[in-house]
């Protein structure tokens, strides 16, 4: 339990680390995809590259009914039509790559072997692709935060059950301790008294050990509830920031 809780806390802190390390951006950049230099809309992603690319697969399927296939750190949907981006068919590409302190994804649209949409030659189409990438950026962050919140809320539910069970067991032990104490008070047989006193000692130790574990559970719950609230607020803040990009 302690190990799982520590892992969860580390996961919950990742979004805050991201924001602290760099500002959100959506920039047109030259990146290397395979053997080609490509122009793409690049932005920082939350968490690992694999997770962001998985979100892109879902987004492309939901938004454009496209099936993007994976090739390492790249996703591609070949020879597809995306009217919202361009009148010509092309390859929609998502490419993930690490930077110094965070991971990034570039969204590109390839018209030919080494020809990519860019603002200089296809200004309107590149603007359309930017809108497409921006919508995915919003989708990605919303999904990332929702997944983290869901994970935390599941842990809260588990801890609540564990706390309720512990409190119930404490009350049961208290009643057993009380009954055993009454038996000792009314017992005249020395041997029986000795056995009851040993039982009382065991019950008391168990009750104390369990009682001492409850504050830790309550502390964990308080921390998790605070993290959930922070994540929700952080998600709203990031979505507002994306709108202004």
d(CA 77, CA 57): 10
Whether domain 2-145 has CATH 3.30.310: yes
| pTM (predicted TM-score) | 0.82
Report how far apart, in Å, the C-alpha atoms of 230 and of each of 25, 38, 129, 145 are: 22, 38, 32, 10
| 198 band by pLDDT with thresholds 50, 70 and 90 | very high
Per-residue pLDDT tens over the stretch 110-155: 998 889 999 999 999 999 999 999 999 999 999 999 999 999 999 9
What residues does each domain of the chain span? Answer: 2-145, 152-243
Reply yes or no on whether the pLDDT at 21 is more than 90: no
Burial track 3-27 (b if 16+ CB lie within 10 A, e otherwise): eeeeebeeebeebeebbeeeebeee
Q: Which CATH code for domain 152-243?
A: 1.20.58
pLDDT recorded at residue 18: 46
Q: Are 92 and 60 in contact (CB under 8 A)?
A: yes
How confident is the prediction for the chain on average, in pLDDT? Answer: 90
As given in the structure block, the two tokens for residue 124 are 């309107």
């Amino acid at each position: 339990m302690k190990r799982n809780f520590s892992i969860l806390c580390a996961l919950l802190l990742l979004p805050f680390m991201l924001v602290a390390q760099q500002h959100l951006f959506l920039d047109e950049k030259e990146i290397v995809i395979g053997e080609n230099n490509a122009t793409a809309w690049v932005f920082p992603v939350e968490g690992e590259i694999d997770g962001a690319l998985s979100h892109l697969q879902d987004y492309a399927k939901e938004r454009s009914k496209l099936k993007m296939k994976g090739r390492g750190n790249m996703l591609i949907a070949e020879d597809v039509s995306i009217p919202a981006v361009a009148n010509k068919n092309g390859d929609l590409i998502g490419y993930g790559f690490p930077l110094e302190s965070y991971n990034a994804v570039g969204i590109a649209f390839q018209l030919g072997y080494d020809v990519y949409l860019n603002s200089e030659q296809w200004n309107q189409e590149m603007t359309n692709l930017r809108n497409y990438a921006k919508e995915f950026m919003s989708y990605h962050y919303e999904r990332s935060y929702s997944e983290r919140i869901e994970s935390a809320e599941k842990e809260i539910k588990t801890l609540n059950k564990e706390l309720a069970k512990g409190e119930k067991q404490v009350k049961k032990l208290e009643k057993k301790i009380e009954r055993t104490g009454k038996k000792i008070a009314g017992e005249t047989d020395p041997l029986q008294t000795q056995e009851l006193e040993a039982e009382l000692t065991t019950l008391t130790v168990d009750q104390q050990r369990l009682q001492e574990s409850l504050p830790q559970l309550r502390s964990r719950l308080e921390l998790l509830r605070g993290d959930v609230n922070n994540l929700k607020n952080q998600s709203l803040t990031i979505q507002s920031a994306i709108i202004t990009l």
